A and B are shown apart, each in its own frame.
Chain A
Amino acid sequence: MNSRDKRNEPMVDGGDIQGVIPWGHGSLVESRFVLFGIDDPENSGSWLAELVERVPSATDRPTESCVHVSFTRAGLEKLGLPDDVVGRFSREFLEGVATPHRQRCFGDVGESAPEKWGWGSPGGETIHGMLALYASDSNTLGRAYEEEMVRLEDSGLRSLHTLDTSSENGNREHFGFRDGVARVFIEGIGHRGSAHDTVKPGEVLLGYRNEFDQFPPSPTVASAHDPRNFLPADSRYPDRRDLGKNGSYLVFRQLEQDVYAFWKFLDEQTGEPDGNPRPETRTWLAAKMVGRWPDGAPLATNPSRVGPSGRCIESDVHNAFGYGDDPLGTKTPIASHIRRTNPRDTIVENAQQSRRISRTHRIVRRGRVYGPPLSSTFDVDEILGRGPDGVSRGLHFLCFNAALGRQFEFIQQTWIHNPKFGGLYSDSDPIMGIPPAEGGAFTVPANPVRRRVTGLPRFVQVRGAGYFFMPGKRALRYLAFVAAKRPS
Chain B
Amino acid sequence: MTNEQSALTLLIPVRAEALETLRARLSQVVDEGIGVNTLFPFQRMTTIHFGRWFILEEMDDSPPRLGLATNYDGSLEGHIGDMIERADSGLDVLLECCCGYPDAARRNEETRREFLIRHEIPTQAFYVGARWRTVRQVRREAELRAHIQEFLDHRISDLAEPSPSARDLYREIREHVKTDPEFSWALEPVTKRSTRDWTEYIGTFLVHALRGLLLVPIVPFWFVFVRYHEMRDPLPIQRGDSDHVRALVRREDRIGQNQLTMVSQVKPGWFRMTTLRLVLWAIHVAARYVFNRGRLAGVPTIHFARFFFIDGRRRVVFLSNFDGSWEQYLGDFIDIAAFGLTAVWTNTTDFPPTRFLFSGGARDEQGFKSLIRRSQLHTRAWYSAYPELSVENVNRNSRVRSGLGKPLSERATKAWLEEL
Binding site for B on A (CB under 8 A): 1, 87, 91, 94-95, 100-101, 104-105, 212, 214, 216-217, 269-270, 273, 278, 281, 285, 328, 347-349, 353, 356-357, 360, 405-406, 409-410, 413-414, 418-420, 423, 425, 444-454
Contact = CB atoms under 8 A, between A and B. Distances in A.
Interface in B98-131: none
B242 A91 contact: yes
B256 A420 contact: yes
A418 B256 contact: yes
B246 A450 contact: no
B175 interface: no
Contact of A448 (B149, B158, B163): B163
A199 B159 CA distance: 40
Nearest to B335: A357
Contacts of B156: 449, 451
A101 B390 CA distance: 21
Contacts of A414: 324-325, 327-328
B301 to A, nearest CB: 9
B420 interface: yes
Interface string B232-263: 00010000001001100110111010000000
Given A448-B163, A449-B420, A409 B235 contact: no
18 contacts: A104-B253, A104-B254, A105-B253, A212-B366, A281-B159, A348-B336, A349-B298, A356-B335, A409-B327, A413-B328, A414-B328, A418-B324, A420-B392, A425-B145, A447-B414, A448-B163, A450-B152, A453-B159
Contact of B327 (A100, A214, A413, A450): A413
A100 B249 CA distance: 10
Given A1-B235, A105-B253, A448-B414, A348 B327 contact: no
A278 B160 CA distance: 9
Most chain A CB within 10 A, of B158, B253, B298, is at: B158
Interface residues of B, number: 43
A399 B348 CA distance: 39
B287 to A, nearest CB: 20
A418 B254 CA distance: 13
The B interface is mostly helix, strand or loop, or mixed, namely helix
B159 A270 contact: yes
B328 A448 contact: no
A449 to B, nearest CB: 4
Contact of B366 (A217, A278, A347, A410): A217
B327 A101 contact: no
Given A1-B235, A105-B253, A214 B364 contact: yes
B417 A425 contact: no
A212 B365 contact: yes
Given A101-B250, A212-B365, A448 B166 contact: yes
Contacts of B160: 270, 278, 281
Contacts, number: 104
A214 B249 CA distance: 24
Interface string B183-219: 0000000000000000000000000000000000000
Interface of B: 145, 149, 152-153, 156, 158-160, 163, 165-166, 169, 235, 242, 245-246, 249-250, 252-254, 256, 298, 323-325, 327-328, 331, 335-336, 363-366, 390, 392-393, 396, 414, 417-418, 420
A434 to B, nearest CB: 13
B393 A425 contact: yes
Contacts of B366: 212, 214, 216-217
Contact of A410 (B245, B249, B327, B420): B327
Nearest to A217: B366
A213 B131 CA distance: 38
B418 to A, nearest CB: 6
Contacts of A447: 414
Contact of A420 (B245, B327, B390, B420): B390
A1 B353 CA distance: 11
A273 B253 contact: no
Given A214-B365, A217-B366, A450-B420, A413 B152 contact: no
A369 B393 CA distance: 38
A101 B392 CA distance: 25
Given A214-B366, A448-B166, A449-B156, A91 B245 contact: yes
Contacts of B242: 87, 91, 94
A99 to B, nearest CB: 8
Contacts of A349: 298
